Amino acid sequence: MTQLFDEEGRAIPVTLIQAGPCMITQIKTKEKDGYQAVQLGFDQAKKLKKPQEGHLKKCQASKKEFKKLKYLREFRIEDPQVLKSLKLGEEIKVDVFEKDDLVDISGISKAKGFAGVVKRYGFATHPGSHGHPHQRRPGSIGSMYPQRVFKGKKMPGRMGGERVTLKNLQIIKVDPENNLLWVKGGVPGIKGGLLEIKWTGKKAKKRLVEEKPLEKEEKKEKKEEKEAKESQKEEKQPKEEDKVNKNTQK
């Protein structure tokens, strides 16, 4: 983790994440696979097994970075129009995200080994003075009836090493040249661990998985055309009013 300073001089704790480039390695449809999803590949491996090499040959990757992909992960897509806009072998970069976007980040938490109830669940300890024999023990785990321990009872055990999702994390900064994201706060897992980043809530349904720069330019041009038409209409309206005034004067 590190920190950034905003315009008012306040320190913001952030985590640097390398979020790309990724490549679309497979597109799954309801007709063939029974559900809609996109498979993304990330990071470069030294060697691959033959089945993995054959799977990646279908993508026809032009860059060397994408010929030996280390990680493959699936993301469900409900909207069929979004699925049609994607192409096999297409590259996805960090410019998909924007500043102040809210995202959900999932990862495997740090494994901490076998832990007691005080460390694992935050149980209060017994009195520490006068030679108490059970200072960090859990205490009673049940009554005489039903003569068994209920499932899910908080007891000592292995801590960490589980999939964790942190929601509504804010993106502070986007660096498209280096494919870096500055995310406010901490993220689950160790340094160098694999993370899954998704848009939060309703915004995820509205936005596409990838917006090409050409599509963005087309949107800007359409907006400019609409504004120009509206301005022309406003200019025509006062001229018609002047005609009406002239007729009344006559």
- What are 81-131's pLDDT values in tens digits? 888 888 888 888 898 888 888 999 999 999 999 999 999 999 999 888 888
Residue 143: pLDDT above 80? Answer: yes
Residue 43: pLDDT above 60? Answer: yes
All residues at 6 or more sequence positions from 248 whose CB lies less than 8 Å from its CB, including other chains: none
80 near 27, Cβ under 8 Å? no
- The overall pTM is greater than 0.95: no
Instruction: Write down the pLDDT at residue 107.
Output: 95
DSSP string, 73-93: EEEE---HHHHHH--TT-EE-
Instruction: Write down the pLDDT at residue 209.
Output: 44
All residues at 6 or more sequence positions from 72 whose CB lies less than 8 Å from its CB, including other chains: 25, 39, 40, 41
Averaged confidence pLDDT in the chain: 83
